[in-house]
Structure 1
Amino acid sequence: MKKLSMLILVLMFILAGCNSNEKTLKVFNWGVYIDETLIEEFEEEYGVRVVYDTFDSNESMYTKLMSGETYDVLVPSDYMVQRLIDENLLQTLDKSVVNMANVMPHVMNQSFDPNNQYSAPYFWGNVGIIYDTTQVDEADLTGWEVLLNTKYKGNVYFYDSERDAFMVALKALGYSANSKDDAELQAAFEWLTQLNSTMDPIYVTDDVIDNMIAGNKAMAIVYSGDAAYILDENEDMGYFVPEEGTNIWIDSFVIPANAENPEMANAWIEFMLSEDAQTRNTLEVGYTTVHQSVWEAMIAEDGDYAGNTAYEVRLANSKDEIFMYDEELKVKMADLWLKVKAQ
Structure 2
Amino acid sequence: MKKILISTILALLVLSGCAGEEKKVLKVFNWGAYIDETVITEFEDLYDVRVIYDNYDSNELMYTKIQSGEYYDILVPTDHMVERLIAEDYLQPLDLSKLSNLGNLYPDLLNRSFDPNNTYSIPYFWGNIGIIYNKNTVDVADLENEGWMVLNNPKYADRIYIYDSARDAFMVAQKALGYSVNSTDEAEIEAAFELLKQINETTRPIYIDETIIDNMITEQKDLAVDFSGDAAYIISQNENLSFFVPEEGTNIWMDSMIIPKNAKEVDLAHKWIDFMLDNEVALKNTIYVGYTSPNISAFETVTGPGGDYEGNIAYQPRMDNPNDEVYKYDDALKEVITDKWTRVKAQ
- TM-score computed with the length of structure 1 as normaliser: 0.94
Give the Å deviation of 1:341. Answer: 1.1
Structure 1 residue 294 displacement after superposition: 2.0
> Does 2:116 correspond to 1:120?
no
Matches of 2:139 and 2:168 in 1, distance apart? 24
Q: Which has the higher helix share?
A: 2
For 1:221-240, list aligned pairs within 5 A.
Answer: 221-240=225-244
Q: Aligned equivalents of 2:301 and 2:315: distance in 1?
A: 12
CA distance in 2, matches of 1:332, 1:114: 28
1:99-127 C-alpha deviation (Å, 9 max, x unpaired): 42221122211111011010000000000
Instruction: State the shift of 1:16 in Å.
Output: 11
- What is the alpha-carbon distance in structure 1 between the residues aligned to residue 116 and residue 16 of structure 2? 47
Q: Which runs of 4+ in 1 moved over 4 A?
A: none
User: Unpaired segments of 5 or more residues in structure 2?
Assistant: none
- Residues 326 and 20 (structure 1), Cα distance of their counterparts in 2 relative to 1, 3 Å cut: farther
CA distance in 1: counterparts of 2:233 and 2:307, whole angstroms: 15
Q: Matches of 1:253 and 1:16 in 2, distance apart?
A: 35
Per-residue CA distance 1:10-63 (angstroms, 9 max, x = gap): 88x949973994211000010001111111111111111101101000000011
Q: Which residue of 2 aligns with 1:65?
A: 66
Pairing of 1:1-343 with structure 2 (within 5 A): 14=15, 18=19, 21-99=22-100, 100-142=102-144, 143-343=147-347
Determine helix, strand or coil for the equivalent of 1:288: coil
Q: Percent identity?
A: 55
Cα offset, 1:304, TM superposition: 2.1
8 Å contact from structure 1 (residues 135, 218) kept in 2: yes
Counterpart-to-counterpart distance in 2, 1:260 and 1:19: 19
Instruction: Give the match's secondary structure for 1:90.
Output: coil
- Aligned-partner Cα distance in 2 for 1:98–1:149: 49
Report the AA paired with residue 286 of structure 1.
G
Displacement of 1:135 after TM fit? Answer: 1.1
Aligned to 2:174, what secondary structure does the other structure show? Answer: helix
SS of the equivalent of 1:128 reads strand
TM-score of the pair, normalised by structure 2? 0.93
What is the identity, as a one-letter code, of the residue corresponding to 1:108? Answer: L
* In structure 2, distance between residues paired with 1:45 and 1:110: 31
Aligned residues: 336
Query: 1:48 corresponds to which letter in structure 2?
Result: V
User: Once the 2 structures are TM-superposed, how far is the Cα of residue 296 of structure 1 from its aligned partner?
Assistant: 2.1
Contact 1:27–1:52, Cα closer than 8 Å, also in 2: yes
Contact 1:106 1:315 in 2 (8 A): no
Which blocks of at least 5 consecutive residues in structure 1 are unaligned? none
Give the C-alpha shift of residue 211 in structure 1.
0.5
Question: Following the alignment from structure 2 to structure 1, what is the Cα–Cα distance between the partners of residues 201 and 150?
Answer: 15
Q: How far apart, CA to CA, are the structure 2 residues paired with 1:20 and 1:330? A: 48
- Kept in 2, the 8 Å contact 1:28–1:71? The answer is yes
